[in-house]
Structure 1
Amino acid sequence: MGVQLFSAPGMTQPVPYHHVAVASGSRHVHVAGQISRDGAGRPVAIGDLRGQVAQALRNTGYGLAGAGAGFADVVRLTFYVTNWSPERIGDFMAGVEDVAGELGLPQPLPPSSLIGVDYLFEPDVLVEVEATAILD
């Protein structure tokens, strides 16, 4: 299986993600929205977007690993962030960078969307991450 990440000529640059992913393989892995909780369900990094992004990505990595995948197999990430404003991008990207090496996150990221929402399912949750990967 292979995942090819790229941004085609004419697509907006620079951005911290690739615009396009092309994957060959037949097994799709969908990791449900992951939030900043530890394995026992306790909140991690309350009030800290940077810390919550890092923990949500770790949890996404656990889900991928459980399916025999890793971030190198990811063709799409979707981030939902509460009370989003462009001024928060520094904290958001710092959370990504904090775990990029640990988790083997490609840099730039796979095709990604960051969607601002009013709130998520519990008041302390600032970010939720979904991932789609393709395996042979």
Structure 2
Amino acid sequence: MPVTLLNPDGIMKPDVYRQVAIATGTRQVHIAGQVAYDAEGQLVARGDLAGQVAQAYRNVAIALAAAGATFDDVVRLTFYVVDWKREAMPDFIAGIEQAARELRISPAPASLIGVSALYEPGVLVEIEATAIVG
């Protein structure tokens, strides 16, 4: 496997992602920000952060597969969340956990960036992914 994920001793060990990704592959895959649209272009889970996180993860999985990659190859995720407040963390985590169960994935290193808005009203989250494929 070209990616090893770990949480080293001496820094926080979060449950929903890993702090370090070690990649040994040769091909980089960069997935543009994915939001909670379905294949027909309809916004899924309007007003529901957990539902939108799960749908955005599904879209990342589809994009990775198109590039010959899986979440096992992901070395970094970046989340952009509209009007982020710490109180939203349970809903955010619920969306990640739903996607993890459904897609059978492990959490990659991630950053969460609060933004005032995304490109269209109603879109609550956007996920970018970077993968390294052997």
* TM exceeding 0.5: yes
Change (3 A) 1:93 1:71: same
Give the drift of 1:90: 0.3
> Which letter does structure 2 place at the counterpart of 1:126?
L
Q: Which residue of 2 aligns with 1:24?
A: 24
> Which letter does structure 2 place at the counterpart of 1:72?
D
Is contact 1:2-1:25 (8 Å) kept? yes
Q: Which residue of 2 aligns with 1:34?
A: 34
Change (3 A) 1:2 1:92: same
Q: Which residue of 1 aligns with 2:127?
A: 129
Q: Which residue of 1 aligns with 2:44?
A: 44
> Normalising by structure 1, what TM-score?
0.94
Q: Which residue of 1 aligns with 2:85?
A: 85
> Which letter does structure 1 place at the counterpart of 2:35?
I
SS of alignment partner, residue 84 of structure 2: coil
Q: Measure, in 2, the Cα distance between the counterparts of 1:101 and 1:15.
A: 14
Give the drift of 1:13: 2.8
Superposed structure 1 runs of 4+ greater than 3 Å apart: none
Give the drift of 1:101: 2.3
Work out whether 1:73 is the aligned partner of 2:108.
no
**TM-superposition CA deviations, 1:8-31 (whole Å, max 9, x none):** 221123452111000111100110
Equivalent of 1:118 in 92, 116, 119: 116
Is contact 2:2-2:25 (8 Å) kept? yes
Query: Percent identity over the alignment?
Result: 55
SS of alignment partner, residue 58 of structure 1: helix
Listed as ranges, the gaps of 5+ residues in structure 2 are none
Give the drift of 1:2: 1.8
Q: Measure, in 1, the Cα distance between the counterparts of 2:23 and 2:13.
A: 22
Is contact 1:72-1:104 (8 Å) kept? no
Listed as ranges, the gaps of 5+ residues in structure 1 are none
Q: Which residue of 1 aligns with 2:54?
A: 54
